[in-house]
Amino acid sequence: MNTAPQVSQLTPAARAILDTAGRIFYDRGISAVGVDTLAAEAGVTKKTLYDQFGSKATLVAAYLGERDRHFRDWIEREIQGKDAETQVLAVFDALGSWMDAHSPKGCAFVHAHGALLNAPDHPAHNVIRGEKVWLRTKFEHLVRAAGRDQQQSLATQLAALLEGATVLRSLADMPDAVDEARDAADVLLDSPSREGS
């Protein structure tokens, strides 16, 4: 269960804490940032931080939950108004622009998963899984709307291309990885075995 406060419920102090967490958790890593640092950089006391979020774990889940909502909105804006097949490829375009603007170091959810492997009950795991499931499900809906068969398999392949491109672009010094993955997705969509009946 995700216990992260919803954005609409945030006080100004909580907003400052969450904005700071969003910046420094991504830049420095969840494990490397303590509550003292978070409070100081947000301009609040530790007591205020705990009053607003209860724990660092809840704050981490809130940070990832807000990032997830922003990423989903980014995708939806990028694909809006395009035909069904073009929407599939537009998800890759959205990833490229998202990484330029918000994720030059790679996927925050993958980073968080790695940082929290020794904490299987951490509330952030539900947010992390939810983001990955949403992405695959989004592809499934898009390929269904595009009239493709084998929708579950194709959606999984597209999600794997997207996730792999994120890693290659950020960790392997391959700036064209997202564009190459988009080209591979286009080939998958054009495959005769993928045509709907």
Taking the domains of the chain in order of start, what are their residue ranges? 8-54, 60-191
Fold adopted by 60-191: Tetracycline Repressor; domain 2 (1.10.357)
pLDDT digit string, tens, across residues 73-123: 999 999 999 998 899 999 999 999 999 999 999 999 999 999 999 999 999
Q: What is the CATH number of domain 8-54?
A: 1.10.10.60
- Sorted by sequence, the CB contacts under 8 Å of residue 70 that are 6+ apart come out as 102
As a whole number of angstroms, the distance between CA 110 and CA 2 comes to 18
Tokens of 197: 């009946």
Q: What would the mean pLDDT of 18-35 be, rounded to a whole number?
A: 96
Residue with tokens 């995708």: 75
Give the pLDDT band of residue 3 (cuts 50, 70, 90). very low
As a whole number of angstroms, the distance between CA 31 and CA 174 comes to 27
Phi, psi dihedrals of residue 44, rounded to the nearest 5°: -130, 170
